[in-house]
Amino acid sequence: MNTVVPAVEKTPVPGLDIINEYRRIAIAVGDDAPLSNSKTAISLLRYRGEHCLAVIDPAHQGKTTQDLYGVGGSTPVVGSLSEVDSPDALFIGISPPGGQMPESLSRVIAAGVDGGLDIVSGLHEFLVENEDFCQAAQRSGSRLIDVRRNQHRQTARCAEFRSGCLRIHAVGQDCSVGKMVTMLELERGLQQRQRDAKFLATGQTGIMIKGNGVPVDCVVSDFVNGSVEEMVLQHEQHEILLIEGQGSIVHPAFSAVTLGLLHGCAPQGLILCYEAARPHVKAMPHVPLKSLERYRELYEQLASERSPAEVIGVAMNGRNLTEAEADIEKQQVQQRLGLPVCDVYRDGADLLVDAVLNLRGRLFA
């Protein structure tokens, strides 16, 4: 995978695992980025918070990230890169629709490149295709790392995976309902129980957290299934693989990626993720969401065309509910579907950990 433009020609090009080496990260979001676009920044603060020095957002300088996002504690929000103490990399912390780069963000990136910082971006608009950034990087020694840029060119071959490898995949009613967070919390919970579990990222934010994965929404469509299948094969030595989900199987824009993931990773277990009280597809008020029962039916049927699969638990995102409302919602969904339901933000992932281990016991007893 050629994701990095070296500062000097003939310098070896590192892989995405270099992302794990950064320990003093500045996060840039532009000027007053909407919270709905800032999930990368929020997730970096949640899962790499010990490495994050500050968020750069002039519109909210003087606050903490806890004030702004509800996560990150006393990590400051500052007005410029010059206010961050000795960062070793600048991470782009937004995921705007279409992946385009705001002008205010471009200015921060230019300052980082001029200062010799490595820049890590998950945008669809690649740093390495910006001539000004590339020329400045040649002068300063900055490395431009586009985590979505890839060279996946292998079609799926319906490979046989190792029989003892349990594959769990997050699926959803829509975008931005918590599929990545659910799987990261599942990984944490399983590892706390001394199980060999590994999260496999399929989106830019997960890759920026873990330093590996496949950016499936930027893989040529013919190769989505194959890129995911190959990723699973590379990690099938683990006891449990937790494959991040993307989009929704009936999403008007992103269903192709969702189906490619289902057939590429051939999961035995599915975690159905949804946001309580969401009335319609994100940013599409004219497209109503379907019932959880319908999503369950579709995911099980379509996944099982490749390999038998079942929904084993439900991850509820209750951010728009009070605690009392969330408790009622969980009870109702559990009664309707006959499945364990939890909100990993509020409750942790123990119920889903139990469901994964129960499935493993049934399949590999």
Two tokens at 127?
């740093």
**CB atoms inside a 10 Å sphere around CB 64:** 16
Residue 1: inside a domain, yes or no?
A: no
The shares of helix, strand and coil residues in the chain, as percent rounded to the nearest 5, are: 45, 20, 40
Two tokens at 286?
């004219």
pLDDT of residue 200: 98
228 and 261 in a single domain? The answer is: yes
216 and 284 in a single domain? The answer is: yes
Give the pLDDT confidence of 188-247 residue by residue, as tens digits.
Answer: 999 999 999 999 999 999 999 999 999 999 999 999 999 999 999 999 999 999 999 999
pLDDT at 129 over 60: yes
78 and 206 in a single domain? The answer is: no
Residue 4: inside a domain, yes or no?
A: no
- Looking at 146, 181, 212, the residue that finishes a domain is 146
pLDDT at 14 over 60: no
Helix (H) or strand (E) holding 121, with range, is strand 118-121
pTM: 0.94
Residue 158: inside a domain, yes or no?
A: no
Give the pLDDT confidence of 47-87 residue by residue, as tens digits.
Answer: 999 999 999 999 999 999 999 999 999 999 999 999 999 99
Q: Which residues contact 43 (CB under 8 A, 6 or more apart)?
A: 180, 181, 205, 209
Cβ distance 116 to 86 under 8 Å?
A: no
227 and 287 in a single domain? The answer is: yes
What's the mean pLDDT in 286-300?
98
184 and 282 in a single domain? The answer is: yes
111 and 186 in a single domain? The answer is: no
pLDDT of residue 99: 64
141 and 226 in a single domain? The answer is: no
Question: Any idea what the CATH number is for the domain that residue 242 is in?
Answer: 3.40.50.300
32 and 97 in a single domain? The answer is: yes
Q: How many domains does the chain have?
A: 2
Instruction: Provide the residue range defining the domain that includes 359.
Output: 166-364
**CB atoms inside a 10 Å sphere around CB 95:** 22
Residue 227: inside a domain, yes or no?
A: yes
pLDDT of residue 141: 97
User: Is the dihedral angle over the CA atoms 329, 333, 335, 340 positive or is it negative?
Assistant: negative
